[in-house]
Each structure stands twice: as C-alpha cells, then as structure tokens.
Structure 1
Amino acid sequence: MEGVLSILVGIFFAVSIYLMMSRYTIRIMLGVAALSNAVNLLIFTSGRLMREVPPIIPEGASVPAMPTANPLPQALILTAIVISFSFLAFLLVLAYRAYQELGTDDITQMRVAEPADEDLPPVSY
C-alpha cells in the first residue's frame, strides 16, 4: 500500500509544480492546493499504514508490543488541512481583488498594468 501512495505523492508533486509554474493565478492556486495535499499524503504515508493494530501501549510496558501506526502524523495532518484551507481562502480573496483592480489574472500583465488614475485618491503635499 505504501508503494501505491508513494507513486500518488509523486504524481501530486509533479502536478502541483506544473500548475505553480503557470502564468495564471487560478492555476497557481490549484497548484498550491495540490502541493498541500501532496505534503499531507507524504506525512500520512511516513507514519505507517496499519489498520489492524491500534497504537495502544499495554499497562506496564513503555512501547507497544507490535508495530503500530504512528498517531502523530495524523494529528499533524489535521492541523495542516485547516491551515492550508485558510491559506487557500486568503489566496482566493487576494486573486479576486487583484483581478478587480487590474482586470486580468495573467501575472505577466499584472506587472505592467497600472490602476486607473481616477481610482487613486488625490495627493496633497
């Protein structure tokens, strides 16, 4: 099972890097979302995948009697999901606001575009 998930992690990383190298902000945000999913899946895979044995230590022992799944990566992933969702929501609002101001989602055109003069407040010295 770890082999299949490792291949899936590699595919996620490749797709996310391809999307983040795009010129359009929506594709970049989809790449960031795919990258966060790839990292979460990588952390989950590194914590061992065992469904049969719960990670419970018997009384009087300092370690589990047999190999178990590590619960720490699962807790880290739950936190990372919340953080990546809030980061993606912030990026969506930022991209939408940039599109409203500049009228494009192409990052090369964003560099040369300037907001209209009537939108700027008057400058007083």
Structure 2
Amino acid sequence: MIQRIQTLFLFIAFLLNGSVFFNALYRHAMDDPRGWIGITFAIMLTIASLGSLGAIFLYKNRESHLRWVSRLLIPQVVSFGFAVGIYISLGGFGTYLWDETIGLCLLFLAFLCQLYARKKINDDIELVKSMDRIR
C-alpha cells in the first residue's frame, strides 16, 4: 500500500484539502451572511479530504479504487468552484489577497494530485491486464 505512488498522491491531496480549513479563504467562507455558501464549501471540502484518505485503503481492488478516485474528483471540482466564487466576491484580484490565493492554489494542487493518482491507478490496471495476456 505505501510503496504505490498513488497512495502518496492521495495522502498529499488529503493534507492539501485539510490545510484549506486553516486558511483565510475558509474563514471568509464562514463569514458569509447567508451561511449556506460556507457550510456547503465545508461539506464539499470534507468529502474531498476524507474521501482521499479513505480511497487509500481500497488498493486491493483496483477497479473499485479507480471508480472511487474518479468520483472524488466531483466534490474536489465543486469545492474549487466555491473557492473561486468566494475569492472573486472578496473584491477582485490584488496584492492584498495573498492568503486567499494560497487557499486556491492548495485546492488546485489537491485536484492535480487526485488526477495523477487516478492516472497511476489506471496505469496499474493496464499493467495487470498486460501481464494477464502474457500468461
């Protein structure tokens, strides 16, 4: 489990998503007067974060592993969309929004880590299929 590269990338995605909770972008989301934006952002971020951690333990069944990692891309994209919306609602792009920009970059890097893990799982499946053909 640990020696597989996709495990490492899924764990990095978990850490990156979890670190957004301690970022200024999350604080701005929770300060929303209506409240539903912050709560939805927190729920999607939690699903993406804990899903990445849970998907690590599905390594024995590669097809199921690939399916779950592919499904986890949806809450990741939704949380990134909420983050972009929160970022834009803060008043545009400028030098005073560095902390919020770091939060956006963390979410984007987590998305890239999940995509790369998905690619590596797919590569493992193809490798096993090719070895089965040789036998």
In the superposition, the TM-score normalised over structure 1's length comes to 0.43
Whose relative contact order is higher, 1 or 2, with alpha carbons under 8 Å and at least 6 apart?
Answer: 2
**When the two structures are superposed, what TM-score results if normalisation uses the length of structure 2?**
0.40
Structure number with higher helix proportion: 2
Larger radius of gyration: 1
